[in-house]
Structure 1
Amino acid sequence: LANLCREASERASNVNLKKQFINCAREVASSTASLITAVKQLDSSFTEKNQRECTEAARSLYTAAEQLETFVDNPQTAKQLALSPTDASTWQRLADNSKVVSESIKRLVASIRDQAPGQVSVNSFCVNSKCAL
């Protein structure tokens, strides 16, 4: 996704559009790297602190992807892209991928929440405790 943003920036003729695509690329790449680091840390040491950091990193990436999606879906952006249609398939891929990334991040966060180490044990304990009462 970050590479698509960079490609879009190279093809855009509007300076502000170029800057916005570069900023989106930076934010998505940085947030992705932070999430990967947080997940590795959580995997090596499952603590409440690491879990919070992982959740925050996932939220950050989700926010970056949402901002990109909002930017690309903006009618003004569409108008600017229409003024310099050098590669329509690239622009279409960018729009399609922003939605895919957003949905993937939602699934990732849900998976981390639901499949975190110890989550099954905690859920099982809660169910068994209710049965014992």
Structure 2
Amino acid sequence: MNPEFKTIFFSTLLGVSIILLLVFISFTLGNSRIGLTKPDSEKSSIYECGFDPFGKIRTPFTIKFVLVGILFMIFDIEISFLFPWSIVFNQLNLFSFWIVYTFLIVLTIGLAYEWIKGGLEWD
């Protein structure tokens, strides 16, 4: 067997064995085995924000939270694409410039669409 494959094999074997060990420990020492899953006064008390809990935990929330989160994620990904491009900007050819320029135009159109549809308004 090739030495590189041995390294990959034993690394994978070690990773899988650690995962299985942690899953086994979780099942044997988990809260459901000890009986701590029942809600108590500590779980219903005031949390970090300082407000008393009100309503049920699983109440539906508006989709605006998810949409705003997706918008932030899209623009964070845009920055992660533009940062390496800006580092090697002087070494790129004209085709690479126009590809990134097209990418920015598509993102700007998407931002304008969200703005027109009211996705950035917070009610």
Task: Flag whether TM exceeds 0.5 (same fold).
Answer: no
| The structure with more helix, counted as a fraction of residues | 1
* Greater RCO, CA 8 A, separation 6+: 1
TM-score (norm 1): 0.37
**TM-score, normalising length from structure 2?**
0.39
